[in-house]
């Protein structure tokens, strides 16, 4: 029932949606979003989505508004009122006060002929035929419709602003989501050990280097350039093939031309290279020189995975 109601919303879109979106985009003020009951909870979510995508927004509870919170509305602010019926007592008190302050008002309502619908400058029609609640009482379908309209509004504004993933990262610096957008390989590899051996290093010293640096791998480096890699697996394969490795060197068992990544690349790109090549370590290069190692465990620890 809710999914059918959402599909039907597209048939209710009018020029009011486009004009309301343009109005918010060009506004010098904020977006104040208000509602009562379950609509207030939806208003809170829409505020959060707008704020995180570049449109400054503030939630104002309709009941609190008529008891002092009206003072948070500034002259350039655009007000969005959310109400299924558009006829609740709080809305009937609040709407004339907003109008008298000459703030532009956008209604998200399921009843365009309601008190709210008649007094709003723009109507975003959230009509639903019936609630999913068996008694047709608890706000279910109606709040879902309100939420969808809020998301549509946020996405349209996001596109108008040319809001990029880099902009998104500025507003989401914490948590795994933010890290995927701003964490670079260097941020991780720079705190790791940097195991390296020369191509002429004997196998005993190779084993010591891998063991001491505790990354399960070492780069084979010549003149600061990466020429190969030796992993724990390479050592095991060597031991299964030869009885005497005293004369072997790093160059004899290394894998040449190993996968590597630039230090300035995004950490999420390092993960993609690892997944594509089914490896758990990746050598890091900076200005064409060996700069360290990024390990799959580092990405897990940082929440990239």
**Phi–psi pair at 39, nearest 5 degrees:** -65, -30
Task: Give the residue numbers of the binding site for substrate.
Answer: 61, 67, 200, 252
Residue identified by tokens 């480096």 is 221
Task: Say if residues 126 and 107 touch (Cβ distance below 8 Å).
Answer: no
Beta strands (DSSP E) in the chain are 31-35, 57-61, 78-83, 105-109, 122-125, 196-197, 217-222, 225-231, 255-256, 260-262, 281-286, 289-295
**Gap between the Cα atoms of 23 and 104, Å rounded:** 9
- Torsions phi, psi for 162 (to 5 deg): 65, 35
Q: Which residues are annotated as a binding site?
A: 61, 67, 200, 252
Q: What is the DSSP string of 273-291?
A: HHHHHT-SEEEEEETTEEE
What is the distance of C-alpha 208 from the center of its chain?
A: 42
CB count within 10 Å of CB 243 equals 5
Of 15, 57, 10, 13, the C-alpha closest to 32 is 57
Which residues define the annotated binding site for Zn(2+)? 61
Alpha-carbon distances of 99 from 29, 46, 56, 75, 95, rounded to whole Å: 16, 22, 21, 11, 6
């Amino acid at each position: 029932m809710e999914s059918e109601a959402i599909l039907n919303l597209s048939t209710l879109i009018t020029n009011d949606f486009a004009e309301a979106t343009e109005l918010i985009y060009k506004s010098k003020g904020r977006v104040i979003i208000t509602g009562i009951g379950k609509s207030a909870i939806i208003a809170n979510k829409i505020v959060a989505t707008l704020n995180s995508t570049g449109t400054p927004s503030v939630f104002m509870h309709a009941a609190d508004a008529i008891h002092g919170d009206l003072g948070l509305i500034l002259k350039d602010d655009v007000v969005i009122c959310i109400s299924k019926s558009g006829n609740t007592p709080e809305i009937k008190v609040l709407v004339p006060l907003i109008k008298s302050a000459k703030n532009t008002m956008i209604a998200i309502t399921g009843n365009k002929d309601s008190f709210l619908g008649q007094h709003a400058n723009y109507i975003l029609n959230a009509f639903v035929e019936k609630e999913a609640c068996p008694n047709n009482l608890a706000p279910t379908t109606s709040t879902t419709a309100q939420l969808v309209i809020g998301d549509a509004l946020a996405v349209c504004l996001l596109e108008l602003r040319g809001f990029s993933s880099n902009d998104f990262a500025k507003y989401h610096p914490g948590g795994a989501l933010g890290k995927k957008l701003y964490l670079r390989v260097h941020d991780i590899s720079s705190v790791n050990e940097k195991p390296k051996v020369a191509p002429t290093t004997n196998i005993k010293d190779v084993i010591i280097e891998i063991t001491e640096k505790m990354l399960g791998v070492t780069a084979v480096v010549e003149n600061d350039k990466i020429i190969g890699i030796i992993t724990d697996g390479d050592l095991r394969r060597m031991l299964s093939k030869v009885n005497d490795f005293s004369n072997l060197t790093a160059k004899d068992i290394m894998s040449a031309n190993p996968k590597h990544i630039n230090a300035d690349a995004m950490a999420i790109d390092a993960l993609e290279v690892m997944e594509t090549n089914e490896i758990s370590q990746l050598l890091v290069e900076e200005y064409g020189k060996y700069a360290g190692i990024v390990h799959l465990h580092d990405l897990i620890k940082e929440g990239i995975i």
